[in-house]
Amino acid sequence: MQRPRLEGDRVGSRWWYWIAAIPTVFAFWLVTVAWVALAISLEPGLLDGPGFGDDPISNAAVISLVAVGVPFVALTAIFPLAVFQDSHAIDRAAVEWEPPGGSYALLALGGWLVGGAVGLLLVDLSMAIIAGFAASVPFAVYYLERRHEHLGVP
With H, G, I as helix, E, B as strand and everything else as coil, classify residue 11: coil
Q: What is the pTM of this model?
A: 0.86
Mean per-residue pLDDT, 81-94: 92
> Which is nearest to 68 in space by CA: 149, 1, 130, 145?
130
Domain boundaries in the chain?
A: 16-151
Mean per-residue pLDDT, 47-67: 79
Q: Rounded to an integer, what distance in angstroms lies between the CA atom of residue 35 and that of residue 148?
A: 32
- The string of pLDDT tens digits covering residues 2-40 is 555 554 457 888 999 999 999 999 999 999 999 988 988
CA–CA distances in Å: residue 43 to residues 36, 39, 87, 93, 124: 11, 6, 48, 56, 26
Question: For residue 110, is pLDDT > 90?
Answer: yes
Mean per-residue pLDDT, 63-87: 93
